[in-house]
Structure formats: structure tokens, C-alpha cells
Amino acid sequence: MKEITVLLLDQMFSSTAIGPMEVFRHAGSLWNALTGARIEPSFRVTTASADGGPVTCDGGIQITPNVALKDVGKTDLIFVPTTGVSIDDVLERNAAIAPWLKRRSTHGVAIASVCSGVGLVAAAGLLDDKRATTHWGLAERFREKYPRVKWMPELMVTEDRGFYCGGGVNASLDLAIYLVERFCGREVAVQTSKALLIEMPRAWQAGFAIVPLKTDHTDDVISKAQDWIHRNFAKTFALDDPAERVGMSVRNFVRRFKQATGDSPLIYLQKLRVAAAKRMLESNHRSMQEISFAVGYQDVAFFRSLFQRHTGISPTEYRERFGV
């Protein structure tokens, strides 16, 4: 039986701790009870807060843990829930967590975190040079604060050398089921997901995101180029066009553009077109060919491929999921 410690944090989103706790508690038992098989729990779950006292969650719910951090015994996995979207505030309110995680990781303990909780693991330096995901709305701030982390916010779940990360709030269940599969095998994970009526882990969260196009930089020349691209994204043009508009060589333009926005001009344009396509897929019933043409792609097959590359799902799937 694996030992799991679920942290209870001040102002946490309670579902991101309680949901995974229920997944872990019922792995190997609920399905078995429902089908008449022998009950063989896969995990023993312990909850811990910084001082052992109750924590007040977002919305005023209070939860009392089993132990304080200092009293946590042997554990195979630590699970860190999400606790707000103000990064500095999260770190200040949970100052004891990052150093405790760092000490525990030196003993080979696996660490899983979700949404803003990933920031507490990153603050301990434990995600440096590793792949990690978080909520798409926090990704840019985390990327600036923790530049050594290989941020992949398009993914719902990541794993890298004993560190597991989940995207947004509901991704806590994706991450929990993923961990059941990782620690107990696919059969137990499938049985657990069936018993709790939870889908097996989703791979992508990019379909839920507003495409992150960075405009809050200080390079006024590149801002002018961005404005021109936004006005003309549906047209066919070469990189020479926006570069000439701002009096730069293509090489210098590409370098400055990426430095200011984080994306090459081509990737930026693709993201902009995909964002426009999303809005059309959500709000009207144009054909795929019409939408492809409207955002600047004459080759519908290429458009479909590009859309899937940026969002993780096809345009048809996106319309079915998010269309009015």
C-alpha cells in the first residue's frame, strides 16, 4: 500500500484536495465493492497543514488535517492543491511549504501539484529544467517568475523525474487518476475512473484557453508591428511586410519580435488565427472551409492540422465541446 500525503493550504480550492483524496482512497476498493471483488485499497491517505491546525478554504469552508508538516512520517507521494491566483500572495500565505517540499524531495519522495500549487513546487526550485504545466491563465506569470522551468501549459498533466503537475482546478482529478495509473497500473486506474464516473486523464487543456498573445511589453516598435498583424491577419503576407512597416530587416525583426512577445512572428500569427477560428467555431455555423478562408488559410487540411497542433483537439471537436 502506498502512503500519500495531501497538503491542506490556507485559502486552497477545497475540491483540489478533497477530489484527489477520494480518488486515492477509493482506488482498489470502490470498484471491488461494487463488483463483489476482494477489497484491496491501494493508498493510505494522510492530510497535513503547516501547523496541524484547521485551514480555511476559498469560500470559508474549514478542514481539519490529520497532522502538522513536522509530524508527517514516511510518504511515497505528496499532493499539493491549488490555492488562489495571486502568485506572491500564495507564496506569502504558504511560506513554510516550499522549504518543506525541498527537504522531502531529497529523500526521493514524489511530488504532485495542480494549478497555482505548481508555483509552490517551482518556488522550491524543484521544477528547474523539468517539464511542468499549470493553469493556462497563470502560465505567462509563472514563466516570468520561474524561467528555468520548461512550461507546457497546453498539457493537462505532465510528469518529469518524479514530479507531476496538473493544469486547472478540475485537472486535479485528471492528475489523481494519472497517479493511480502510474503507481498502481492501468487496470486499477480504469476501474477507479469507472467507479467514480471520472474520465481517464485528458491530455490537453489548450482548448479551454484564450490564446496567450503577449502585448504588455515595452518595445513600441514591435507593438506597432503587432497592431498591423492584428489588422491584417486574415490576409496572405510575408514577414517582409510587417518588418518593412517598422523599418527593420527581417532578421532583426524576428529577433526583436520574439524577445518582446515570446513567440516568433509566424507562431504569433498562427496563434492569432487560431484564436479567431475558435471564436467563429463557438458562435456561428460557418463551414470549416469558410472559417479556414476567413482566418487566412486556403488549405483547409493545413488549417485543421494547425488548429489541432495549437489546441490539442480538432476544429470539429472544439465546436462540439464549446459551440453555442
Q: What is the DSSP letter of 3?
A: E
Q: What is the DSSP letter of 263?
A: S
Q: What pTM was computed for the model?
A: 0.77
Mean pLDDT of 103-121: 95
SS3 266: helix
Domain ranges of the chain: 2-208, 220-322
| Nearest residue to 295 via CA among 313, 285, 308, 281 | 281
Mean pLDDT of 289-314: 93
Q: For 2-208, give the CATH class.
A: alpha beta
Spatial distance between the Cα atoms of 210 and 225, rounded to a whole number of angstroms: 21
- The answer to whether the beta carbons of residues 204 and 154 sit under 8 Å apart is yes
pLDDT of 282 strictly over 90:
no
Is there a common fold for 2-208 and 220-322?
Answer: no
Higher pLDDT, 285 or 65: 65
Helix (H) or strand (E) holding 151: strand 150-151
| Nearest residue to 41 via CA among 6, 4, 92 | 4
User: What residues are paired with 2 via a beta bridge?
Assistant: 43
Q: For 220-322, give the CATH class.
A: mainly alpha
Residue length of the chain: 324
Spatial distance between the Cα atoms of 278 and 211, rounded to a whole number of angstroms: 9
Strands 110-114 and 55-56: unpaired
Write out the three cell numbers for 142.
Answer: 509563472
Q: In which band, very low, low, confident or very high, does the pLDDT at 210 lie, cut at 50, 70 and 90?
A: low
pLDDT value of position 324: 61
pLDDT of 231 strictly over 80:
yes
Q: In which band, very low, low, confident or very high, does the pLDDT at 84 lie, cut at 50, 70 and 90?
A: confident
Q: In which band, very low, low, confident or very high, does the pLDDT at 44 lie, cut at 50, 70 and 90?
A: very high
Cell numbers 520561474 correspond to 146
Residues 166-202 have pLDDT tens digits of: 998 889 999 999 999 999 998 999 999 999 998 887 7
The DSSP line for 159-208 is: EETTEEEE-STTHHHHHHHHHHHHHH-HHHHHHHHHHHT-PSPPSB-GGG
Spatial distance between the Cα atoms of 175 and 203, rounded to a whole number of angstroms: 10
The DSSP line for 70-103 is: GG--S-SEEEE----S-HHHHHHHTTTHHHHHHH
User: What residues are paired with 45 via a beta bridge?
Assistant: 4
The DSSP line for 97-134 is: HHHHHHHHHTTT-EEEEETTHHHHHHHTTTTTTSEE--
Mean pLDDT of 18-40: 96
| Nearest residue to 120 via CA among 87, 153, 144 | 87
191-to-159, 198, 203, 274 alpha-carbon distances in Å: 22, 10, 19, 37
Cell numbers 459551440 correspond to 323
| Nearest residue to 243 via CA among 235, 254, 232, 233 | 254
